[in-house]
Amino acid sequence: MYKIVFMRHGESTWNLDNRFTGWTDVDLTEKGVAEATQAGKLLKEAGLSFDLAYTSVLKRAIRTLWGTLDEMNMMWLPVIHDWRLNERHYGALQGLNKAETAAKYGDEQVLVWRRSYDTPPMPLDENDDRTSFNDPRYAGLDRSQIPLTECLKDTVARVMPAWNDSIAPAIRSGKRILISAHGNSLRALIKMLDGISDDDIVNLNIPNGQPLVYELDADLKPIRHYYLGDQAAIAAALQAVASQGKSK
């Protein structure tokens, strides 16, 4: 049996402001930094250790990983930064307040943009300052690989090659892995791992900074999964994430 731990980054400044973030590279709040440390404590208490970590190329996930590994006294751990683990690109919604957007377009429409499998938000204009075309961290990519918007299906299409080509072979070789990533890149991975339907994925939310342990069989099929930590607080955090896109 294998174990892998997924973790969404701790609270970011734009989580606090309730803004659509996507590929915008915002940092953690103080609370987010504390959540990363707390995650490290929980992982230690659960007796978990790692041989390799993955994260995105966005600082909120990277800094969360740093805080967690620091608490575990494992800052030496090899880390793979993979752009394919980035948050889902939120298109022209990036920077807008989620509740204000819901007041303008309606809660239903915002739920579709946030959680539907195959309806992307409006794309960024190619000339918009918010595009990532000139960002050096994506210099190795073909322009066609850099999104202007994404639905979850598009995120699945970039996350799964990272799983199949890099993460799954590392698990099979016996490496114990921690992944520090994002709400929707983790929803993409979990959808595929658990075989969640396009309709049911609407109801899956991931809280900030909570280690989520997946136990996998020899074929890397999930046996069970569970969050470490205070289960009532996690349930409340899940509910809070679900409510972020409501006008009131």
Positions marked active-site: 9, 87
| 211 near ligand 3PG, judged by CB under 6 A | no
Residue pair 159/189 in contact by the 8 Å Cβ criterion: yes
| Per-residue mark of binding to ligand 3PG, 120-159 (x: CB under 6 A) | ----------------------------------------
Out of 6, 10, 11, 20, which residue is the one contacting ligand 3PG (CB under 6 A)? 20
Residue 75 exposure: Cα atoms within 13 Å on the Cβ side: 8
- Other CB atoms within 10 Å distance of the CB of residue 108: 10
- Other CB atoms within 10 Å distance of the CB of residue 188: 29
- Which single residue brings its beta carbon nearest to ligand 3PG? 21
Q: Where are the beta strands (DSSP E) in 150-234?
A: 177-181, 212-216, 222-227
The shares of helix, strand and coil residues in the chain, as percent rounded to the nearest 5, are 45, 15, 40
Residue pair 99/73 in contact by the 8 Å Cβ criterion: no
To ligand 3PG, the closest distance from the beta carbon of 117 in angstroms equals 13
| 182 near ligand 3PG, judged by CB under 6 A | yes
126 among the known binding-site residues? Answer: no
| Residue 220 Cα distances to 103, 173, 195, 197, 224, angstroms | 42, 12, 12, 19, 11
Total residues in contact with ligand 3PG, by rule CB under 6 A: 12
Out of 50, 90, 117, 163, which residue is the one contacting ligand 3PG (CB under 6 A)? 90
9 among the known binding-site residues? Answer: yes
Q: Report the binding-site residues for substrate.
A: 8-15, 21-22, 60, 87-90, 98, 114-115, 183-184
Q: Which residue ranges are tagged as binding site?
A: 8-15, 21-22, 60, 87-90, 98, 114-115, 183-184
Binding site for ligand 3PG (CB under 6 A): 20-22, 87, 90, 114, 182-184, 241, 244-245
